[in-house]
């Protein structure tokens, strides 16, 4: 199929169909931007855990030892190289123990992934008063912070086929 030959409307319809197929396959849980759902899916698949319900505030997964994980993903592209993860709400409430940060390449493959303890997130995140949240930049330097664990290879091992 040559995508360049399709109209813009046909491309959007194809995108909608793809999202529905990925939902049927239990890779995506919503019809929103697939980055967050994909990040949750890969992390849960890599560790063999089930995600919490979609409406759970503060964390996405609880491990068998009761550690709470907040999962954030970001897809970079040649046009947008930002490593800013989505907003972290209510950071002071300490609703999670570990932040899972996953950077995807333009093709949705895992570029880098890390487990970041709450204390590090609290120290490095910047308050955003206009959104009443905190901003966390998942730059390459984060992997050099003591206590951060690189899980890139673990997630790459379960990437989709």
pLDDT, tens only, 141-156? 999 999 999 999 999 9
Question: Where in the chain are the domains?
Answer: 1-31, 33-156
Q: Strands 149-150 and 98-104: what pairing?
A: unpaired
- The pLDDT of residue 159 is 81
For 33-156, the fitting CATH number among 3.40.50, 3.40.210, 1.10.287, 3.90.1070 is 3.40.210
What's the pTM value of the predicted model, to 2 decimals? 0.89
pLDDT, tens only, 51-78? 888 767 899 999 999 999 999 999 998 8
Dihedral angle sign, alpha carbons of residues 16, 41, 134, 112? negative
CA distance 34 to 18: 11
Burial of 92 (0-12, 13-18, 19+ CB in 10 A): exposed
């Amino acid at each position: 199929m040559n995508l360049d030959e399709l109209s813009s409307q046909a491309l959007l319809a194809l995108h909608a169909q793809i999202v529905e197929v990925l939902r049927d396959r239990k890779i995506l849980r919503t019809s929103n931007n697939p980055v967050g759902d994909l990040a949750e899916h890969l992390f849960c698949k890599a560790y063999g855990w089930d995600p919490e319900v979609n409406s759970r505030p503060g964390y996405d997964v609880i491990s068998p030892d009761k550690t709470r994980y907040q999962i954030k993903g970001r897809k970079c592209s040649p046009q947008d190289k930002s490593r800013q993860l989505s907003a972290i709400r209510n950071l002071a409430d300490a609703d999670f123990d570990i932040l899972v940060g996953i950077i995807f390449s333009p093709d949705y493959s895992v570029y880098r992934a890390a487990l970041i303890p709450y204390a590090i997130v609290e120290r490095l995140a910047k308050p955003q008063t206009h959104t009443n949240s905190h901003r966390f930049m998942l730059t390459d330097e984060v992997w050099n912070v003591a206590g951060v664990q690189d899980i890139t290879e673990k997630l790459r091992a379960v990437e989709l086929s």
